[in-house]
Chains A and B, each alone.
Chain A
């Protein structure tokens, strides 16, 4: 799990210079409580941009 994203990095290949998520970042993406909070925050952020654009 801890090597979740890192295992795909190829030394000096296309993807050698990017970042990869660790286990916590990965877990948070589908953690229901965290995502429910993010759902509210993202919606507010989007509504602000929508209201600035109309």
Chain B
């Protein structure tokens, strides 16, 4: 009997674990180690953050789902990996610390034959002074990265709405809280959902809404922007994004590294090296992401974290980490099997793998401060990677250790994204987009780097309907309800 241990029960890890359990059956063990008792459909946190959904609508209990799937579930967080075992045993294992009520803090070793690291991001609020505490519930700004954060954000938003109803003008500042952030899409959704809700509440004219981000142009989204086919043109996402911002009367500051947050004020540095300040009454700034801080120890008890993990804490996989300057970047730098180069039975997928470099062109201010988006790994690629890695592990368990690995490079896959711009069955809108491939391949698609036959975007009510249907579809899938394997990632 072989044992697969999956660290992290988020989008990527849950996909990997559930498919592995389905393919392996009861002859082998699938173990999930994840600190939360509940699964969260993170994209819908945006709607929790404006009071259009409750926390209960975007989360569900993991234990019954894993029990149904025959998955062994540890509500715990992984602390370290011992890929060579220790002095007394050659068997690799992970050290985990329980987060379960009544058992919290208890340490346990779990042995594995194969390990999938899908621990996602550490929300690194500490990178910017004042952005937030370790829980992310900052004193001065709010977040929508977890369902609890989003509940808090909605409470703060409604305090502002009440003030506006009493005639007090409010300033909203939404975007990224550091020069090296990713996930601009989530902030983009949140700013337009706020704008939509303020309109509905009849207080839009009392609000000044501003975007602040590390993108060098609006519509970069961490993927270096994209050209979409529209009206017979290949139109840059910059035009579309600026158009929406103008239409909804939202001003912007771009190329900004937020370096300090105080009560009601952010301090930032721009790409031209100048410094600025912006005041706010309500602010949601996405924190930068880092790896969750797993340690790696070899058989002799030496720390080999730097061998297995990149300096940002994400796990090294089959990527080209020596690509160097932007001019040398190639689509083939991006990993395809997500296998760790040192330990062949260890894989990383979703946000947990270390990307070879950004997708957007790297930039820095004359003061040497890097200000550019880091690469996003959104839901669809994270799910596809999780499934591919699970497939590889299952083949190696069932067909032998030399079974070929499955591939899912972000340079060969596309992504469908639906960015909400306001919720409502008849009044909602969302930007429905596809991008192919996620990582531009300028050799294959000279000029735009992408196939404009399969890269498109449009905003409208249809996009909102799709977003709402996807909410129910993905929760259905994650709960392993009938037909779940047929729903694509």
- A-to-B contact residues, CB < 8 Å: 4-5, 8-9, 14-15, 17-21, 28-30, 32, 34-36, 38-39, 42-43, 45-46, 48-54
Cβ–Cβ contact A21 & B243, under 8 A: yes
Instruction: Using A18-B239, A38-B458, A54-B384 as known contacts, say yes or no to A5 and B416 having CB atoms under 8 A apart.
Output: no
B residues in contact with A32, CB < 8 Å = 426, 461
The secondary structure that dominates the A interface is helix
The stretch of B1-9, B26-34, B247-255, B341-349 that contacts the partner chain: B247-255
Q: Can you name 17 extra interface pairs (CB under 8 A) apart from A8-B246, A20-B247?
A: A8-B247, A9-B246, A17-B242, A18-B243, A21-B243, A32-B426, A32-B461, A35-B462, A38-B462, A42-B432, A46-B416, A46-B432, A49-B414, A49-B416, A50-B414, A50-B416, A51-B488
Specify which of A35, A42, A51, A53 lies most central, judged by the most chain B CB atoms within 10 Å of its CB. A53
B466 contacts partner chain A, Cβ-Cβ < 8 Å: yes
- B-to-A contact residues, CB < 8 Å: 239, 242-243, 245-249, 251-252, 380, 384, 412-416, 426-427, 429, 432, 434, 436, 454, 456, 458-463, 465-466, 488-489
CA distance A37 to B403 in the complex (A): 45
Specify which of B384, B416, B458 lies most central, judged by the most chain A CB atoms within 10 Å of its CB. B416
CA distance A7 to B307 in the complex (A): 57
- Write the nearest CB–CB distance from B255 to chain A, whole angstroms: 12
B residues in contact with A15, CB < 8 Å = 242, 245-246, 251
B residues in contact with A14, CB < 8 Å = 242, 251-252
Cβ–Cβ contact A30 & B432, under 8 A: no
CA distance A39 to B247 in the complex (A): 23
CA distance A36 to B248 in the complex (A): 24
Cβ–Cβ contact A20 & B243, under 8 A: yes
Cβ–Cβ contact B459 & A53, under 8 A: no
B residues in contact with A45, CB < 8 Å = 434, 454, 456
Cβ–Cβ contact B246 & A29, under 8 A: no
Cβ–Cβ contact A5 & B462, under 8 A: no
Cβ–Cβ contact A52 & B465, under 8 A: no
For this complex, 8 residue pairs linking A to B, each with C-beta atoms less than 8 Å apart, are A15-B251, A18-B242, A20-B246, A30-B429, A42-B463, A50-B380, A52-B413, A53-B412
Cβ–Cβ contact B413 & A42, under 8 A: no
CA distance A45 to B247 in the complex (A): 26
